[in-house]
Structure 1
Amino acid sequence: MRDSDWKIIYELHQNPSITKVSGLLYKSQSAITKRLQSMEEELACRIVERTPQGVTFTKEGEFLFQMAEKYLQLENETQEGLRKLREEHKETILLGSAYTYTKYSLYDVLNPFTAAHPNISVRVINKQSNYLYEMLMEGKLDAAFIRSDYTAGVYHELVDHTAAYCVTRDPVDLDALPSMEQVAYQTNQKTIGKIEAWWMERYGTTLPEPAEDAGYIEFAFRSIAAGNRYLLCFLPDNFVNEFQLTLTPLLAKDGKQITRDSWFIYKKEKNRRAVVDELIQYVEKHVKIRG
């Protein structure tokens, strides 16, 4: 008997209609009938009797149904057992990722790696870059993708540049910013420092206190879309401008755009796990920005 024969017997007992079973198993009625005939010839017994109401099982058929239940249960237990064994042998990488890196870049980076390494599980921890750096130094992460230069005492690979913009609902002359309300959002101190340095160079004053702290940057976009305010932030090239906001580049006095680096960081360890080395090698080969 074929493995699929047990499924035919089981389903036919649950649904005593060849028409119904053919639909459940995605087989033609003639294919189901032929397999029943072949089973009966092979086992030298009648399995079912055909009636106008469908089929009824013979004593031999009832016995085969009981065996089909056991067979299918064993098959399910076998598959589940193998799945658990595979899960037990999976190694987990604890990977930190800054919020905006996760949203715009991380899974484009990770998906090819995880597809090529089915026995590696990657657990992503989203936090601000300064917290991720601290977690890495404390041994709570294997590696991290961060925004800004939190690179002291760790290996670091440059993976991205993001440019600074003034985000407003409508086009604006940057000279008008000091008279407008600012919306802030949660980000790391080094990023804030870059914005403050640009403001000091441009206006000769300290960056004013924000009128609103929106928390996550997505909430800041919503606030900007609703009124005459501005947001100073860094955005990746693949930023999705769902609110159709105006993006005005922030330029230094020499005309160069203000940018922020993004890094892949990991600790200097002699006994690093092989799976972490595989991720590092992957980033080095496929993600790192050269030159």
Structure 2
Amino acid sequence: MEDRDWRILQVLYEQKNITKTAQALFISQPALTARLRYIEEYFGVKIVYRTSKGVHFTPQGEYVAKAASEMLLNLRNIREKVTDMNSTVAGTLRLGASSYFTMYMLPRLLTFFKKEYPHVEYKVTTTWSRDIFNLVHNQDIHVGFVSSDYGWQGAQHMLFEEPICIASTDAIDLDQLPRLPRINYQSDALIKALVDKWWRENFSEPPTISMEVDKLSTCKEMVVNGLGYGIMPSMIVKNNENIHKTILTDKEGRPLLRRTWMLYHEDMLEMNVVSAFVRFVREMDFPNVIFSRK
């Protein structure tokens, strides 16, 4: 059995479709079918059978397919350990980050790290913070960057905290806020809950949503162009002098804060590349370096 055979089983079990699996793995359907025949010959059992409704796994095939993820993880760990026996900081660093972090911080962070460790390569997964949490927990990635506190029990380091603000091109009278056009964007569930709680504590009527967009960056551009106000992390508009920023505060006058964390497993530090990266990030004056104009 080759690595690709375990990967075929993993993807086919997810897709339950020969065509979609072949497309996902960038191989032809005949080549995929041939590898399936080889796998069945290798184990001496029928793995799958095909019907008009797609691919179905036999009990033996389902057992083997479920073992595929564990086999691939073990193989990857073996390769990483072998590579790490060399004292050189090299290899592939598997990172996960939210869209916000990936767009505004990660490129510059990796540029700085690459200057120190030019032999490191990267595999980056961008998704919601809650999903990054799970990826770190399952060791699918080495290090994760999240913008909410999900109660991580492993090693972590807070990179920075930033107030949440109302951003607009004109100064805003908060009493008029429910009647002003607001631009909404898809955000992390915990941050959304924090903002919604603030709204309920301050207003008895709902906001006037004039526009729904997919990303924070899109919301920012709409705000910059005067199409409404947005409620967002203040750092994204920190250097924009044409944007008015009103910090949200709780009943005690304390600012509502969004905290960004680096998460990882302590035992991952046994790998040179992970240890070097974590140490590099921990020693960095993170927000000032990343958001500096230079």
Q: TM class, shorter-chain normalised?
A: 0.5 to 0.7
Distance 1:273 1:216, change over 3 A: same
Give, in angstroms, the shift of residue 237 of structure 1: 7.0
Q: Note if contact 1:177-1:230 (Cα within 8 Å) is conserved in structure 2.
A: no
Give, in angstroms, the shift of residue 203 of structure 1: 2.2
Corresponding residue for residue 203 of structure 1: 203
Match of 1:217, as an amino acid?
Answer: L
1:43-77, Cα deviation, whole Å (9 max, x unpaired)? xxxxxxxxxxxxxxxxxxxxxxxxxxxxxxxxxxx
Structure 2 residue 273 is matched with structure 1 residue 275: yes
Runs of 4+ residues deviating >4 angstroms: 225-228
Corresponding residue for residue 259 of structure 2: 261
Q: Note if contact 1:167-1:245 (Cα within 8 Å) is conserved in structure 2.
A: yes
Corresponding residue for residue 13 of structure 2: none
Structure 2 residue 109 is matched with structure 1 residue 109: yes
Give, in angstroms, the shift of residue 256 of structure 1: 2.1
For 1:272 and 1:188, the matched residues in 2 are separated by 32
Give, in angstroms, the shift of residue 160 of structure 1: 1.0
The structure number with the bigger radius of gyration is 1
Corresponding residue for residue 245 of structure 1: 243
Corresponding residue for residue 125 of structure 2: 125
Q: Secondary structure at the match of 1:110?
A: helix
Corresponding residue for residue 37 of structure 2: none
Give, in angstroms, the shift of residue 209 of structure 1: 7.4
Structure 2 residue 210 is matched with structure 1 residue 224: no
Structure 2 residue 147 is matched with structure 1 residue 147: yes
1:109-138, Cα deviation, whole Å (9 max, x unpaired)? 333322221222123332222221122223
Distance 1:190 1:113, change over 3 A: same
Q: Note if contact 1:157-1:288 (Cα within 8 Å) is conserved in structure 2.
A: no
1:87-116, Cα deviation, whole Å (9 max, x unpaired)? xx9400011122222333334433332222
Q: Note if contact 1:104-1:238 (Cα within 8 Å) is conserved in structure 2.
A: no
Match of 1:210, as an amino acid?
Answer: I
Q: Note if contact 1:153-1:267 (Cα within 8 Å) is conserved in structure 2.
A: no
Q: Secondary structure at the match of 1:200?
A: helix
1:181-233, Cα deviation, whole Å (9 max, x unpaired)? 3211121111112211221222256x547342211122212333455632111
For 1:208 and 1:135, the matched residues in 2 are separated by 35
Corresponding residue for residue 69 of structure 1: none
Trace 1:137-176 onto structure 2 (pairs within 5 A): 137-176=137-176
Corresponding residue for residue 135 of structure 2: 135
Corresponding residue for residue 213 of structure 1: 212
Q: Note if contact 1:183-1:213 (Cα within 8 Å) is conserved in structure 2.
A: yes
Gap runs ≥5 in structure 1: 1-88
Q: Note if contact 1:159-1:263 (Cα within 8 Å) is conserved in structure 2.
A: yes
Distance 1:186 1:92, change over 3 A: same
Q: Note if contact 2:130-2:150 (Cα within 8 Å) is conserved in structure 1.
A: yes
Distance 1:227 1:278, change over 3 A: closer
Corresponding residue for residue 93 of structure 2: 93
Q: Structure 1 length as normaliser, TM-score?
A: 0.60
Give, in angstroms, the shift of residue 287 of structure 1: 4.9
Give, in angstroms, the shift of residue 263 of structure 1: 0.4
User: CA RMSD, aligned part only?
Assistant: 2.8
